[in-house]
Structure formats: structure tokens, C-alpha cells
Amino acid sequence: MSADPNLIRLTACEAVDLLRKGELKPSELVEASAARIAVIEPQVNAMPITCVERARERAHALEAAGRPAAFDPAWLAGLPISVKDLDEVSGVRHTFGGSVIYKDYVSTRSSPMVDVLEANGAVPIGKSNSPEFGFNASTINALFGPTRNPYDTSRTVGGSSGGAAASVATGEVWMATGSDLGSSIRLPAAFCSVVGLRPSFGRVPRAAKGMPFNTLPVLGPIARTVADTALMMDAMVAERWNDPLSLPANPGEFSAGALARAKPRRIAFSPDLGVTPVDPAIAAVVAAAVARFQEAGIAVEEKTPDVASGIEVFHGIRGVNHLANMGPLVETYGDQVIPEIHYSVTRAADLPIERYAWAERERAALFFRLMEFFETYDFLVCPTAIMEPFPAEWRRVDMLGSHRFDSYIDWIAITFTISLTGCPAISVPCGFTAAGLPVGLQIIARPRREAELLGVAQIFEDIVGAFGRQPVDPKAPAAVGGGQS
């Protein structure tokens, strides 16, 4: 079957509408996706593992089965997606983010989230690139190398869902799964000018492995528009008894929330959350974008909640979890494990237990201060990333201007501080720097208020435009010009 190159220009909502009506076949979209992957991959390295034949078989099976008898708001009807290489797809190679330890491993079963998506008509066509074990905010690993930013292929896509964001931004797929502990959905979405949602914990079922009571890591959607993101969210939520944090799902809740566009009374804007410096070029783009909420009659006040302890708290909470989860990996595999994991485990082991106790107490206090803040403000907005995308080969950021970060991960404090609170947060494209590089706006809501969050994100997108709506063709550095701010 020949591929129609125009199909990649459809939004996910448009494509699913045509699929549901029978005006488009899943196999047509699979071929369009496969053709786009073949063209794009040599330039960006977003999806180093593909499963095109498996996708073709699934597309034909969906065509043979026909449409559901009743309308289902979660039914994706045969839409191709990418799955981050931290979640498993049965029969497909799985390397836990490009780890040499698992370079030859093939999954015998799918992760619960993938099962839910496939039951709702999604068609996985490949595994997106990630840093090893998702353990970095830059997508580069030993097996596959770096994923490159389609807006400037010399730059990073961020991490750890960097391959996911690039696969969506370039039109290889219409939607992608991501995971987010500190920044891993939101940062790549910002760097690639797409939309990424970190839901409340418990919304999307996690695999029965690791630390099931850990509230920091969550799974969520990445897409090119707010409506597409809401649609994917509806297709991936489910309650599963073997995930102890799992929440019940309300069919169609998130698409309905985006469509409702419930107008908030008051939004707080913080330029930096009080935890980090921000590149002046980024700050200017974000401030100008935030001011445009007033075009919808929404009051915006510059106000920062007291979350200044976020960095110290995060290192304590994340540290004890990594010591428990990653410590055995370091003991077993030694130098086959990346230096950042060694560093984190060693740092955590050296912290006295009293420091962990302090981190738990202060996390609770930080949370209650933020909830009190939300009694006055309906949403909090701030930058998603504090700088432009940096060179793709960098594994870490040490400095911004004259400010030196204490830890390799502290440059993402503006996102990981929010992770501590359990609040859902979405990154939406809000503009570009003078060098033509994307900037994202982070919008934060009260816990379990994803529907309202998607609604205010949709209001913002209506005002400024959906910058990531059309797939971008990768640009070489000379085509972009400029340098890092």
C-alpha cells in the first residue's frame, strides 16, 4: 500500500474522527507513519526501535473487527503511537532506555498502560529513545546515542521522554507515551514545541515493578495540540488493582474538560518559582505569553508560592527512592550503569536518616503551603524550561550564566518541585527565542484536576495558537542560526 504523505498533517483528533467514520483505514495511517519514520529517523534518532510489521498486523486486525457498536470517547480506532522505551510492548525489543545491560532483551508482555491503549485502539509502531532507565534530563544513551531537536539538530530534546516528543513534533506519530518523575514529559514537550501532560499519580496504571508506592514517577501523554493530548489521556487512564495508587477512570472526562474551556477567576504567574535562575530570553517569551491570558478576561497576578525548599526536599525524597530502586542495579552491574546513577545512589547513601525524615516533613509542609495558595489562585503558571535546548551531546547542565548548579539535575528544579506536590502540570508551546528555538509554558493545577487544567490550556492555545499543530521538518543548525542564550 502506498503512503499518503498528507495524512501526517492531520491532528490526532482529525485522524481519529475519520477512522471512527470509516473514511480512513488504520493501515493507511500505519503506512504514512512508517514512511515518515524512514525519512525523519536519520536526522533526529527519535525512534531507534520500530515494530512496523506488528503495527501492520494490528491495523489489519482492527479493520477486520470493525467499529464498536456504541460510541466510546477513548476509542482511537487504529491511530499509530510511539511507546517510550521504558514501557514494554509484547514481542518488541526493550532496552530500558538504551542500556547495554538489556541490549538484546525482547518483551514477552506489554506494560499495563500499553494494554489499555491497545484495548482502546492504539497501534504502537515503535519505541522512542530515552536516557538509560530514564535517568537524565537529556536524551542520550550508550546504545543509540542522542535524539536531536527537530528545530535545530545540533540541540537536545531534553529528557527523559525526548524521543517521544521528537516523534510527535516531526509527525512520525500522532501521539506518544511519556513518563515524568522530575521533568521528563514537560521538558521535552517544551523543547520540541508540543504539548505534554504530567497527570496526578494514579491516573495511568504503572507496571508491577520498581517502587509501586512511589508518587514521583507518573505516565502521561504527549501530542501536538491540547485536544489531542486530552484524547490520548482518555485512552490511557484505567484503574488496575495491582497498582496501589491507581484511580478510577471517568470515560471521556479529559476531552470534555478541554472542550468545556472553563474560565478560571485568577491565575498566578511566577517567573521562577523561587527555586532557580531563568535565562532572560526565556523569561521574556514566557512573560509575554502569560499576559495574553487577559485577552480571555482572565486576571493574572505575579505571585510565587513558598516552595523554595523544593531542591533540598527533592534530593531527599528522590534519593531514598533511588537508593532502594537503583542501588541493587549498581551493585549487580557496576560500570555498566551510567555515572549519574552511581552519583545519585552514592549521594543518597551518604545522607543521614534524619535528612530523609526532614525531607518528608518539609514535603508535607510545602504541599500544604501550595494548597493554601490555591485557595486564592485557580492555576499557577511559570516557565517549563529555564534555558534554550543545549547541545545534543551534553548529558548534564552545570551552569546558567554565572550560576553554578549544585547537582547535575538542579537545572530542572522548576519542574521537579511541582512533581513533589502531586499536582498535575501541562507544558504548552508559548513561543520561540530569537534563535527560533521553542519555549514552553508550564500550567499547574490542584491535584486530580486534569480536566480543568486541559480546559485552561485549551483557552491559552486558542489565544496564542497551536505552535506544534503541523509536523516540523528537521532543521540543520545553519538553517536556524543563533546560539544558546
The residue from 27, 82, 130, 160 that is catalytic is: 160
Residue 170 CA: distances (Å) to CA of 33, 70, 144, 362: 10, 33, 19, 41
3-state class (DSSP) for residue 428 = strand
Q: How many CB atoms lie within 10 A of CB 346?
A: 12
CA distance 87 to 114: 8
Strand partners, 66: none
Q: How many CB atoms lie within 10 A of CB 14?
A: 16
Query: 400 φ, ψ to 5°?
Result: -130, 115
Pairing of strands 218-223, 438-444: unpaired
Q: Which three three-digit cell numbers place residue 448?
A: 486530580
The residue from 33, 82, 84, 200 that is catalytic is: 84
- Residue carrying C-alpha cell 501536538: 224
CA neighbours closer than 13 Å in the CB half-sphere of residue 400: 24
Per the annotation, the verdict on 179 as an active-site residue is no
CA distance 304 to 415: 14
Q: Answer for the pair 169, 223: CB distance below 8 angstroms, yes or no.
A: no
Per the annotation, the verdict on 25 as an active-site residue is no
Q: Answer for the pair 386, 433: CB distance below 8 angstroms, yes or no.
A: no
- Residue environment code for 23-49, b if the CB has 16+ CB neighbours within 10 A, otherwise e: ebbbbbbbbbbbbbbeebbebbbbbbb
Q: How many CB atoms lie within 10 A of CB 58?
A: 22
C-alpha torsion sign, points 28, 33, 34, 40: positive
Q: Answer for the pair 468, 224: CB distance below 8 angstroms, yes or no.
A: yes
Strand partners, 465: none
Strand partners, 301: 268
- Residue carrying C-alpha cell 495540540: 225
Among candidate residues 185, 208, 156, 201, the one with its CA nearest the CA of residue 393: 156
The residue from 27, 161, 167, 184 that is catalytic is: 184
Overall residue count recorded for the chain in this entry = 485
Per the annotation, the verdict on 84 as an active-site residue is yes
Residue 115 CA: distances (Å) to CA of 83, 164, 306: 12, 18, 40
Q: Which residues are catalytic?
A: 84, 160, 184
